[in-house]
Structure 1
Amino acid sequence: MSTRTTVIALSLGLSALSAFAADQSSVEKSILFKDGSTVHQFKGGKMAMEKKFGRAVRMDSGTSMQTADGKSIVMVGDEVARLDIALKTHQRR
């Protein structure tokens, strides 16, 4: 195999591995709400909303929400794409 072919194969292989890097392991904690939806907090403090049917949805940063136990939290960030990848990865297993 030539050097050029080896370099191309390695670069394609490494870029494919980066797609598997975002999974549930980056979720630090999950908070359940009264309506059945869940907010997942990632390492670094950013959050993403999951509706009760398991779909990642948009939520404006700064929105105040009420948890199932009555506490109030404020949404930080909107990591909907990050959560969507994590949910799809989890569903494939």
Structure 2
Amino acid sequence: MNFRTAIVSFALLAPALSAFAVDQADIEKSVQLKDGSTVHMFKDGKMAMESKFGRAYRMKEGESMQAADGSIITMKGDEVARLSSALQAHYGGGNK
């Protein structure tokens, strides 16, 4: 492999690895909800909501949600900005 190929390979691989690191470093667990949305739980115990359309949105702390398996989850925190930046890194873009 020549030098030029190595540089191009690294340039294409680096953004993918950094997006994966952001997503996996912060989000500990994701639970699918009955309505199609997803609640993401961070390592510090705080949570954030993702709509079924893939956007972060607000939910009041203390509200109850029903998981797809029927269990009840109570919202702790409201990490909209944190999830939004992780989603942008994961999907590779912003609002246009």
TM-score for both structures, normalised by structure 1: 0.74
CA root-mean-square deviation? 1.7
User: Paired residue for 1:89?
Assistant: 89
Stretches of 4+ aligned residues off by more than 6 angstroms: none
Q: Once the 2 structures are TM-superposed, how far is the Cα of residue 35 of structure 1 from its aligned partner? A: 1.0
Q: Which residue of 1 aligns with 2:22?
A: 23
Q: 1:47: which partner in 2?
A: 47
1:23, CA displacement in angstroms?
A: 2.2
Gaps of 5+ in 2: 1-18
Aligned-pair identity in percent equals 62
Q: How many residues align?
A: 73
Structure 1, unaligned runs of 5 or more: 1-19
CA distance in 2: counterparts of 1:87 and 1:31, whole angstroms? 16
Residue equivalent to 1:14: none
Counterparts of 2:33 and 2:64 in 1: how far apart (Å)?
Answer: 12
Distance 1:55 1:23 in 2: 17
Aligned to 1:63: 63
Q: Offset of 1:83 from its aligned partner?
A: 0.1
Aligned mates of 1:69, 1:91 — CA distance in 2 = 27
Larger Rg: 1
- The whole-number CA distance in structure 2 between the counterparts of 1:73 and 1:89 is 26
Aligned-residue offset at 1:92: 1.1
* CA distance, structure 2, for counterparts of residue 71 and residue 51 of structure 1: 19
> What's 2:13 paired with?
none
